[in-house]
Amino acid sequence: MLDSRFLPQNLRRCLEPAEREKLDKAQEQAVSRRERDEQKLFNSWLDIQEGQGCLQVINPQSHRPSTIAAGWPDYTILLPDSQVMLIEMKAHQGRLSKTQLDKITKIEALNHPVFLAWNHVMAINAVQLRLSVILTTLKNDNSSADPTQERTQERA
């Protein structure tokens, strides 16, 4: 079987329809496998962060039918200070379905951005950056509090 990644479009058109269909299906399966592998790596990192109390994650198991609304992003991550992060994971050459595009459009209309990550490194970096901003903001907010207010509260 030919690998469709290395088959130029002009040669692909020369194949019989049944062969093209097999090639397309094989490519979809390869993309799906890469996406699952990337999610496993990201899930391992998220498990460590959850264990340290940095965040909480909702991620439906990919091998079971989901009870979450169709098209919902792969990860809903609860962060400190009532922050929520939504991440959709796609492997290279993966595509968002129409259902996913529609759901993401509705979510973003409510002013909740959905981050699209092409691999586990992008997803980890996005979460780390968001956590860093949140924790820095919280630290600055606490350090700028009126010290006399704190002393008054301590005496009470």
- Distance of alpha carbon 47 from alpha carbon 51, whole angstroms: 6
Q: Is 57 exposed, middle or buried (0-12, 13-18, 19+ CB in 10 A)?
A: middle
Which pLDDT score is estimated for 151? 52
Q: Which CATH architecture has domain 4-144?
A: 3-Layer(aba) Sandwich (3.40)
Instruction: Give residue-wise pLDDT tens across range 6-58.
Output: 566 777 778 888 888 888 788 788 878 888 899 999 999 999 999 999 999 99
Within 13 Å and on the Cβ side, how many CA atoms surround 56? 5
In terms of Cα–Cα distance, which of 45, 55, 110, 62 is closest to 83? 55
Which tokens go with 105?
């459009």
Looking at residue 93, what is its pLDDT? 72
Mean pLDDT is lowest, of 32-41, 68-77, 110-119, for 32-41
Ordered by start, the domain boundaries in the chain are 4-144
- Per-residue pLDDT at 75: 96
Q: What integer pLDDT is reported at residue 67 of this predicted model?
A: 83
Residue 1 has pLDDT above 50, yes or no: no
- How much is the pTM? 0.75
Higher pLDDT, 28 or 98: 98
- pLDDT given for residue 145 in this prediction: 62
- Report residue 151 as tokens: 């002393």
Q: Distance between CA 63 and CA 116 in Å, rounded?
A: 21
Mean pLDDT on 143-150: 62
Please say whether the beta carbons of 106 and 73 come within 8 A.
Answer: no
Report the distance separating Cα 125 and Cα 135, nearest Å.
15
Token pair 């009870």 in the structure block, residue = 67
Distance from C-alpha of 138 to C-alpha of 126, rounded to nearest angstrom? 18
**75, exposed or middle or buried, with CB in 10 Å at 0-12, 13-18, 19+?**
buried
